[in-house]
Chains A and B, each alone.
Chain A
Amino acid sequence: MSVQKETVAHHDIGESPEGAQRAIARPAAPGAKTSVQTRHILFVALLALALFIPAFTKNFVVFQLTQTMVYAIAIVGLNLLTGFNGQFSLGHSAFYAVGAYTAAIMMEQMGVSYVWTLPAAGILCFILGFLFGLPALRLEGVYLALATFALAAATPQILKLSPLEQWTGGVQGIVITKPDAPFGLPLNQDQWLYYFTLIVGLILYLAARNLVTSRTGRALMAIRDNPIAARSMGVNTSLYKASAFGLSALYTGVAGALGAIIVQFVAPDSFTLTLSIGFLVGLVVGGVGWLPGALFGGAFLLFVPNIAENISKGLSGAVYGLLLILLIYVMPSGVAGFLQMIVSKARGGAK
């Protein structure tokens, strides 16, 4: 009986950091079925809520939610790399910056529609991420962290270089025109960008979820758990690790492009190491290895600095740190672990 109970509990936390993303066909244990159904219902309910939010909230809130989703996309990207493939990166602000500048330059200097900037940013960042991932193959743990740190540190300075100024706008950056809603939809610009981001985010989220429950995703996790055994099982670890870097950069680059479009502005100092660390914090807050956690991480990234500022202007950094420590103390494995605990407690109580 205890075995049975454990198995059921495990199904329920189906989307948990540890035993995450197990949509692989399970034997039809009743517990498993209801939990999959519950999750689907929850997903649809949340989606419905997301669709109606702009109808009864202020523009500024709509903008903030859009920004949350943008960060969440970047965090999903980082999660694919760190949570699922076990590679660290402090360099994701660089890919976010490349995405942002790709959007800005294409829209403002080449007159391309914002829609096309996303695939362009994604492809460019995939290539850059892959190329960066190749030499990074030789690096593990702290050394990889250091190499990616260098990437993050260099980015703002490269963006300021005078030979590039005619494209990047140098220190001033580039101002972007906000796009209008297409097809005469009765939405203002903020509302439209909210829906646009929602659609893009949803597609990217579902793709990530498909990936981590597939042969490719399992190969990534195998490398994370035991690279030597993965190799002996036929996984080309170098290729997969570099590709994971590329894919992760693709997500972050698309997020960067979206971020630039909604903020209507890019400038070098928006893309410092602080942003990279922010992504990492968001990842940990949401739960490493749990994809939906990215939304919580994104919200944390956006709102907690403001909250800290409201509590104390002078000591906002310290307050932020304190809030973070408090959160990690209460939820040591992020929101994912916290929800998992609540669910298993509720189960235990119900029995």
Chain B
Amino acid sequence: MSGASQNGAPLLEVRDVAVRFEGIVALDGVSFTLRKGQVLGLIGPNGAGKTTMFNCLSRLYTPTSGDVLFEGKSILGRPAHEMAAIGIGRTFQNVALFSRLTVRENVLIGGHSHTSSNFVGDSLRLPGSRHTESQLESTAQELIDYLDLNDVADRPVAGLPFGTQKRVELARALSARPKLLLLDEPAGGLNHDELHELGRLVRQIRDDRDVTVLLVEHHMGLVMSISDNVVALNFGKKIAEGPPDAVRKDPELIRAYLGGDAA
């Protein structure tokens, strides 16, 4: 498994990315490469710039400088809504579901990017639209089965427990058939058993679905156990990079976390 991940072609190259907000340097010249089939853990204390990096990769933010290459091509000239179609999917740290829609509808919307239809066809239920709909429905059902969401499939997501909502987000992201999946703190709010299950699931998704994973997570046990490589950020700078075992022992990382605890 790790053999394949070492040899994979670069899927994502982050080159010297910097993001400045008024007065704050959220990212300061960060570079790393993610190979096809890898799970890369992105760690760092609160405010280190992890979510900011995700927002750059999904084109919600534009870096002040630097470049982001996906499959060898820069994504910076493309709008955010094209990211799903080129194969970059994501979940959000605080869960960003369509709260008034059902689980199934949320997952159906996840399939928006790789299907097509228009106002006219959909209003008149033309054959093309009906075909799209049945295609979307079967993908959605497959993911609802995969993530064990059948019991809640037709309930609005607003009332569901946080852990379930996180799974819905995962299903929604997967229904776009991403090549690269960005997971922002998927373990937030999970208990010990669920955590273990999540770790298994992330690896399973990588293996079953040919998905490369970039994982932001504060839960060190989880990150270290499922990542092939780890990149550590602190105050917007990369402070460590390498296999989990090496990064774990990195003195600068230990210092960052000890210092970060004061905040």
Smallest CB gap from B157: residue in A: A225
Q: Are the C-beta atoms of A215 and B115 separated by less than 8 Å?
A: yes
Question: What's the Cα separation between A320 and B118 when bound, in Å?
Answer: 41
Cβ B154 vs Cβ A10 within 8 A: yes
A221 to chain B, nearest CB (A): 6
Which of B83, B98, B137 is A24 in contact with, Cβ under 8 Å? B137
> Quick one: given A211-B119, A214-B133, are A221 and B155 in contact (CB under 8 Å)?
no
- Docked Cα-Cα span, A144 to B89, in Å, equals 31
B97 touches A226 (CB 8 A): yes
- Tell me, in angstroms, the Cα distance from A228 to B114 when the chains sit together: 18
A225 close to B108 (CB less than 8 A): no
Question: Looking at the complex, which one of B136, B151, B154 makes contact with A215 (CB distance below 8 Å)?
Answer: B136
**Cβ contacts under 8 Å, A18 to chain B:** 100, 156
Query: What 0/1 pattern do residues 249 to 281 of A give for CB contact below 8 A with B?
Result: 000000000000000000000000000000000
Residue of B nearest to A3 (CB): B151
**Alpha-carbon separation in the docked complex, A217 to B89 (Å):** 21
Q: Which chain A residues border B90 with CB–CB below 8 Å?
A: 232
Interface residue B80 (Cβ < 8 Å from any Cβ of A): yes
**Quick check: B96 and A226 within 8 Å, CB to CB?**
yes
Residues of B contacting A221 in the complex (Cβ-Cβ under 8 angstroms): 98, 100-101, 105
Does any Cβ of A come within 8 Å of B129's Cβ? yes
Do A247 and B98 have beta carbons less than 8 Å apart? no
- CB of B98 within 8 A of CB of A219, answer no
CA distance A222 to B115 in the complex (A): 16
Tally of B interface residues using CB under 8 Å: 48
Q: B109 interface residue, CB < 8 Å from A?
A: yes
B17 at interface (Cβ–Cβ under 8 A)? Answer: no
Q: Would you call B124 and A207 a contact (CB within 8 A)?
A: yes
Our pick among A6, A207, A219, A225 for the contact of B99 (Cβ within 8 Å) is A225
Decide: A214 near B129, CB < 8 A? Known: A225-B100, A229-B97, A231-B60: yes
Chain A stretch 50-76: residues in CB contact (< 8 A) with chain B: none
Please report the number of residue pairs spanning A and B whose Cβ atoms sit closer than 8 angstroms: 126
A25 smallest CB distance to B (angstroms)? 6
* CB atoms of A229 and B112 under 8 A apart: no
B92 lies within 8 A of chain A by Cβ: yes
CB-CB under 8 A from A231, the residues of chain B are 60, 80-81
Residues of chain B with a CB closer than 8 A to A27's CB: 150, 153-154
Which residues of chain A have C-beta atoms less than 8 A from B202's C-beta?
none
Q: In the complex, what distance in Å separates the CA atom of A232 from the CA atom of B115?
A: 15
Q: Does B176 contact A (CB under 8 A)?
A: yes
Listed stretches A107-115, A145-153, A234-242; interface member: A234-242
Closest to A32 in B: B154
Chain B CB within 8 A of A7 CB: yes
Q: Interface digits, B76-89 against A, CB 8 Å rule (1 contact, 0 not)?
A: 00011111110001
Give complex CA distance A11, B112 in Å: 25
Q: Is B58 a contact of A216 with CB atoms below 8 Å?
A: no
Q: Is B104 an interface residue (CB 8 A)?
A: yes
The reply to whether B83 and A232 contact each other, CB–CB distance below 8 Å, is yes
Q: Which residues of chain A are near B117, meaning CB under 8 Å? A: 214-216
| Residue contact A214 to B102, C-beta cutoff 8 Å | no
Query: CB-CB < 8 A to A10: which residues of B?
Result: 154-156
Which of B96, B100, B153 touches A229 (beta carbons < 8 Å)? B96
Are A234 and B82 within 8 A (Cβ)? yes
A247 — nearest CB in chain B belongs to which residue?
B119
Complex: A216 Cα to B125 Cα, angstroms: 11
With A and B bound together, what is the CA distance between A211 and B133 in angstroms? Answer: 12
Q: Which residues of A contact B245 (CB under 8 A)?
A: none
B237 close to A (CB within 8 Å): no
Q: Are A26 and B110 in contact (CB under 8 A)?
A: no
Minimum distance in angstroms from A246 CB to a CB of chain B:
9
Contact B122 A215 (CB under 8 A): yes
Residues of A within 8 A of B119 (CB): 211, 216, 243, 247
Q: Which residues of A contact B99 (CB under 8 A)?
A: 225-226
A210: chain B residues at CB < 8 Å are 122-125
How many angstroms between the C-alpha atoms of A233 and B96 in the bound complex? 11
Residues of B within 8 A of A235 (CB): 81, 109, 112
Chain A min CB distance to B81 (Å): 5
Most B CB within 10 A of own CB, among A26, A226, A230:
A226
Do A22 and B151 touch (CB < 8 A)? Answer: no
User: CA A76 – CA B257 in complex, angstroms?
Assistant: 56
Interface residue B132 (Cβ < 8 Å from any Cβ of A)? yes
Across the interface, do A233 and B109 meet the contact criterion of CB distance under 8 Å? yes
Closest A residue, CB atoms, query B175: A233
Partner of B122, one of A6, A11, A211, A225: A211
* Residue A208 CB within 8 A of the other chain: yes
Interchain nearest-CB distance for A211 vs B (Å) = 5
Verify if A218 is at the interface (C-beta below 8 Å from B): yes
A19 at the interface (CB under 8 A from B): yes
Chain A 6-17, CB within 8 Å of chain B: the 1/0 string? Answer: 110011000000
Taking a contact as CB atoms closer than 8 A, the residue among B85, B100, B105, B123 that contacts A234 in the complex is: B85
Contacts of A234 in B (CB 8 A): 81-85, 112-114, 176
State the CA gap A7–B156 with chains docked (Å). 10
Contact at A232–B58, with CB atoms within 8 Å?
yes
On B, residues with C-beta under 8 Å from A are 58, 60, 79-85, 89-90, 92, 96-102, 104-105, 108-110, 112-115, 117-119, 122-125, 129, 132-133, 136-137, 150-151, 153-156, 172, 176
Q: 3 nearest interchain CB pairs?
A: A234-B113, A234-B84, A214-B122
For this complex, 19 residue pairs linking A to B, each with C-beta atoms less than 8 Å apart, are A7-B155, A10-B156, A11-B154, A24-B105, A24-B108, A27-B150, A27-B153, A211-B119, A214-B122, A218-B105, A219-B109, A222-B101, A225-B99, A228-B96, A231-B80, A232-B58, A232-B83, A233-B112, A234-B84
